[in-house]
Chain A
């Protein structure tokens, strides 16, 4: 959407932190690249939406969260789950719909969740995670927990009325919630510029909510900005919006032929690769070491998932209601 120039925040110079951020991004990248192969092998049911090129947002925001903090995600949620701390073996097993998956193989790509880690679910319904994050924030506030909730959503979700309801409520009740817009310029197969006439900064202003635009491909900037905003939310400052400008490298879904997309656009995205940007401030040795470690972690997780058992019918049928329910 908006062409707002990224402004805020000096890059984080802390090398340890940048290496951690890079590792998270690379884990997401290599995971999703592996998913492409697994999908082609026919091992992943349904379709998957990749966040390749957008990893800096998940990595940067989650870096400033604690395990008590909660997030809700979208159909493009692999990166959020990984950055929030889902175990890779459980993640891959879930994507392969195996019983050992985080959701026992009942969620798959679009509904992967790790409640214990505060990851309240990817979501197959555009904008549906936003009020869920609000409700989680309400619980944090009511139970006086030192925690915030984060709602991730795409720029396409800006056209859902639900976002407006949620901005209003978040401000009205001063909820500890951060709205993170992943603005990749697309909603499915149509540029969001052809779907939406307003900009998020103006929507934010209408609700009296601070709006922080940021280069969503610069992980250090994302982490820096998120850190400041989340600290303010934690101290009772109320809701805020982090508006992350990014680019969708792949198609809407894996396998999308991307008809009608300007090839120059893809080249631009490659030039703005968040991994490349972060690697500039890291030593070659550090990058190589992380690459080796991440590759090994992912290989182990995939090996686990391949061997894991299929979910059982009886278990699935019995899962609809609580066993101890009336």
Chain B
């Protein structure tokens, strides 16, 4: 019993799903031979064979479109798109095809495909390799979007995504792949659409997901030293998102801050804030605040990127406004 690394959890989820269901296949750029840019697919071709685990050429539009056709014809494909930034080339297959088919074809089919990709900054990768574009997908009816923030959810959400009859985008985070936790006693398959309380608290609620949870947790720790008790909710699933859990937390704390790494404007936080301003209006003792990236492309320079990303200081500053 050692530790569980995030990328190993992702790997184990695919391995277990492939063992359980012979129709699960995996393809993408460098997933078979190289084992994935972040090592998440290492060893899978050896275990499940070159027919089920395939390297593809650099053809995102074609391979995601193929996943749609494969899903219509009896396979459960997992496609890895190594950076969410490259999804731009595959948007038609995702937005116009996969997302629409259940409705557009009158329920004749499911499109049980999974797109694994990763987002986020912290590595100085710059404007075309650091974006957090998950809100694009959450905006499209027919898609589901999950965003695991720790190794256990990386496993549990990916298993759920593979089992799900609808197309699911699994957005991992490049800065999380090497994170590790003590090997959990059990690794349950999670439910898409369910949030988790990572830290209970009575004074305010922080809703976050993915790597931004780390800034929230760090901030909450420091605030606790001042006697401010922060409740942290990990959304885990962005579409659908757990409105009930957010509302219940808001009803306990009456103050809400949403923290995400994506650009703040028109983001996931905007949707949550708008819903809570509606269904949670009576619970609010303060305006709903957000912490997200400023409206600019990701910088390359370390100092600029540090300031660009949500960090404990920016979270604490927002909390102080919320409690003022």
What is the interface of chain A, defined by CB distance below 8 A to chain B?
A: 70, 72, 101-107, 111, 113-116, 120-121, 123-125, 128, 130-140, 142-143, 149, 161-162, 165-166, 168-169, 172-173, 316, 319-322, 324-326
Contact = CB atoms under 8 A, between A and B. Distances in A.
B61 A165 contact: yes
B104 A106 contact: yes
Given A319-B103, A322-B166, A136 B72 contact: yes
Interface stretch (B13-21, B52-60, B222-230, B310-318): B52-60
Nearest to B95: A125
Interface in B82-129: 92-93, 96-97, 100-110
A125 B104 CA distance: 14
B106 A105 contact: yes
Contact of B104 (A70, A103, A133, A139): A103
A121 B102 contact: no
Contacts of A133: 69
B165 A324 contact: yes
A101 B193 contact: no
Interface in B32-80: 51-52, 54, 56-57, 59, 61-75, 77
A162 B65 contact: yes
A126 B73 CA distance: 21
B105 A121 contact: yes
Contacts of B142: 320-321
11 contacts: A70-B72, A106-B104, A128-B65, A132-B97, A139-B73, A143-B23, A162-B65, A169-B62, A320-B142, A326-B163, A326-B192
B59 A165 contact: yes
Given A111-B105, A125-B96, A325 B69 contact: no
Contacts of A326: 160, 163-164, 191-193
Interface in B118-176: 141-142, 144, 160, 163-166
A132 B107 contact: no
Nearest to A167: B62
B69 A132 contact: yes
Contact of B97 (A128, A138, A320): A128
Interface residues of B, number: 50
B166 A115 contact: no
Contacts of B206: none
B73 A140 contact: yes
Contacts of A106: 103-106
Given A326-B160, A326-B191, A132 B106 contact: no
B74 A139 contact: yes
A115 B71 CA distance: 12
Contacts of A113: 101, 104-105, 108-109
B52 A101 contact: no
A135 B103 CA distance: 20
B70 A136 contact: yes
Contacts of A140: 73
Given A102-B106, A111-B104, A325 B70 contact: no
A142 B103 contact: no
Which of B59, B92, B105, B141 has the most chain A CB within a 10 Å cutoff? B105
Contacts of A166: 62, 65
Given A111-B100, A132-B72, 10 more contacts: A103-B104, A104-B106, A106-B103, A106-B105, A113-B104, A113-B109, A115-B72, A133-B69, A140-B73, A326-B193
A137 B92 CA distance: 20
Given A128-B97, A169-B63, A325 B164 contact: yes
Interface in B176-218: 191-193
A322 B110 contact: yes
Contacts of B101: 113, 121
B164 A136 contact: no
A130 B65 contact: yes
Contact of A321 (B71, B92, B166): B166
Nearest to B60: A165
B25 interface: yes
Nearest to A321: B166
Best-buried of B62, B93, B100 by chain A (most CB within 10 Å):
B62
A129 B33 CA distance: 29
A172 B57 contact: yes
B57 A135 contact: no
B292 to A, nearest CB: 27
A131 B103 contact: no
B289 to A, nearest CB: 31
Contact of B51 (A111, A142, A161): A142
A128 B65 CA distance: 7
Contact of A128 (B59, B92, B104, B110): B92
B75 A169 contact: no
Interface string B218-247: 000000000000000000000000000000
Contacts of A102: 106, 108
Contacts of A162: 61-62, 65
